[in-house]
């Protein structure tokens, strides 16, 4: 049981729960469509792009390049709505620190993970590699590392990361918790 808890802990901490969460709040409607950006929106894009590329993103494990950070920022600002950012009186400097209080739901979070893929971020590989590394640091053998990493399907990765982006976190979804527990149990020696 102790080994299973270590595998589950590594999955949660590295793959999803160990990220510094931005301050998004949840809502219940579908994903927001991207809004056209203007020159007035550029300070938000620049600040958020710099923040994402500096490792300060809500998903630092993804290790975005400056190009990927700028690309994601363009999509994310357009998705969050530059008018809403201004309505909330958010200064671009605050956005650049990851201090966002716009309303996003799970569908928005999943769309934002899709935006990362559109920006050539290999989300799945980076999360799986990070999980393998975390498990190795915890003393897990290669077989357990590979099993856990392979058990993280794109669907699990997307939902987990989306929940981090909207600040609910994976622990807020009991179905997801059970799926992650199942992956841990199937990969644990004797489990």
Average pLDDT on 18-37 reads 56
With pLDDT > 90 as the criterion, what percentage of the chain qualifies? 15
**C-alpha angle 21-26-30 in degrees, rounded to nearest 5:** 120
Identify whether the C-beta of residue 132 lies closer than 8 Å to the C-beta of residue 150. no
With pLDDT > 70 as the criterion, what percentage of the chain qualifies? 75
Q: How confident is the model at residue 27 (pLDDT cuts 50, 70, 90)?
A: very low
Q: What does pLDDT average to over the chain? A: 77
Average pLDDT on 156-166 reads 83
d(CA 102, CA 42): 18
pLDDT (0 to 100) of residue 29? 56
Average pLDDT on 94-121 reads 82
| CA count, 13 A, side-chain hemisphere, 171 | 7
d(CA 81, CA 92): 13
pTM: 0.77
- Give the other-Cβ count within 10 Å of 122's Cβ: 12
Average pLDDT on 10-17 reads 47
Question: Does the pLDDT at position 68 exceed 90?
Answer: yes
In the block, tokens 């929106």 appear at: 41
Average pLDDT on 54-74 reads 85
pLDDT digits (tens, 9 = 90+) for 111-141: 989 999 999 999 999 888 888 888 888 888 8
Q: Between the CA of residue 77 and those of 3, 39, 96, 122, 144, what are the distances in Å?
A: 42, 13, 11, 21, 39
Q: How confident is the model at residue 6 (pLDDT cuts 50, 70, 90)?
A: low
């Amino acid at each position: 049981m102790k080994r299973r808890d270590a595998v589950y802990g590594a999955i949660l901490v590295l793959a999803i729960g160990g990220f510094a969460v931005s301050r998004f709040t949840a809502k219940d409607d579908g994903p927001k469509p991207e809004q056209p950006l203007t020159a007035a929106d550029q300070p938000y894009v620049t600040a958020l792009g710099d923040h994402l590329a500096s490792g300060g993103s809500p998903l630092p494990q993804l290790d975005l390049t400056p190009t990927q950070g700028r690309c994601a920022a363009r999509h994310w600002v357009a998705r969050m709505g530059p008018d809403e950012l201004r309505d909330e009186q958010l200064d671009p400097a605050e956005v650049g620190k990851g201090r966002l209080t716009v309303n996003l739901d799970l569908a928005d979070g999943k769309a934002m993970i899709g935006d990362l893929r559109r920006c050539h971020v290999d989300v799945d590989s980076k999360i799986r590699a990070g999980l393998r590394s975390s498990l190795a640091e915890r003393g897990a053998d290669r077989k357990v590392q590979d099993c856990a990493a392979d058990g993280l399907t794109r669907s699990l990765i997307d939902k987990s990361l989306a929940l981090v982006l909207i600040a609910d976190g994976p622990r807020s979804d009991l179905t997801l918790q059970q799926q992650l527990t199942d992956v841990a149990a199937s990969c644990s020696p004797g489990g």
